[in-house]
A and B are shown apart, each in its own frame.
Chain A
Amino acid sequence: MSQYSLVAALIALGLASVFYVWQLLARSGTRAARVATAGGPSLTVALPTGAPASGAARYGTLLAANGLAFLTLWMILRSLYTGHGPFSNMHEFSAAFSWGILAAYMAIELRYRVRVLGAVVVPAAFGMLAYASTIPADQAPLVPALQNNLLLTVHVAVSIVAYGTFAVAFGAALLYLVRARIGEERLPSVALLDEIGYRSVTIGFPFMALVIILGALWADVAWGRYWGWDPKETASLVTWLIYGAYLHARTLRGWKGDRSALLLVLGFAAVLFTYFGNLFFGGLHSYAGVT
């Protein structure tokens, strides 16, 4: 049953990605008004008129919302089936990660009414879900260290919010960086992309702090030490520090534009590194218990 909703979400997200990307590529139809202010810098205001491509984006939104609904349904069904949150193996983490990206994206789309971002972020959510569906779903039983329902659920749920918002920031930064290549008139104003990146990080940064702290709390309960320089916890610290650097650079040093966008891209690379880390640091997030 839960597999059906996962497949439905996958299809919805795949189609949504197509519409979003098409909208971005065909966006030259949107009228962009250049308004020169007296004495001030000129502003680009993309008017949300009914250009043909915005129809495609609307389908994109509709499908992405459906994808989110199916994924939410999957999470509920999966939890009912396994008896704990859908956070216990790579299949479940990845589908939940996809949910996080999508939820963060939908919130930003609602807030800023910018659909262009979907062309980057929704395919990312789709990719994550596609990756999840390549991993066998059958639940490997939990090793003892992971048998802590409360901490496991909260730790992973919080990380999904952090990773989701960082994915949205990454999408905004990527559009920022490539805007010269695809033509500015297809994009929302540069300042808006910069703001979306920042706003996402303002949510993600405290959540990431919470992820690290909950991890430390858990390590203390399970192993009797809150910090042990385990590669996974160290990688999450690296991620957090990069976003910390970004906040200072942008807010205090006035790093705007490419440099701060690059930090966001770097930050998301660190997120992916942290996330997939287990695969190459060889299971050193040592779910110990036996040595």
Chain B
Amino acid sequence: MLLSEQAYKKIDREVAKFPADQKQSAVMAALAIAQDEKGWLSPEVMHDVADYLGMPAVAVQEVATFYAMYNLKPTGKFKITVCTNLPCALSGGEKAALYLKQKLGVGYRETTADGQFTLQEGECMGACGDAPVMLVNNKRMCSWMSNDKIDALVEELKK
């Protein structure tokens, strides 16, 4: 049992949404909950989730490696994902990504030396009207990210 009691309670709530013999349906939520707590999905954490849901560890790993938002290695304290897909790019998505790269001094899939920020290029987040769009740690979506707003975001996260 690698996760907190609270995390397993959250997983139980997800399991309850599905038929009793379909606990596996909660694996995506369980992995997301585990990642929120541990920062990334180590093989040990995947094993733990597998045991908890009564499914083969390899089936958990298949899911963890298929979906883009799971972290398969440690990231910085804040993972910032920038959408650079075409609709966003037309409204400054690539420019915003470039500005953030220069500001943090890292490229995509890199982490700053102080371990604070990991930068990542993302695919469509379904928010093209808000471009440029960034996502912090998978949960907090930031819209209309002008250079000033990027400055403010980075300042706020550093605190």
Chain B associates with chain A: no
Q: List residues of A whose CB falls within 8 A of some B CB.
A: none
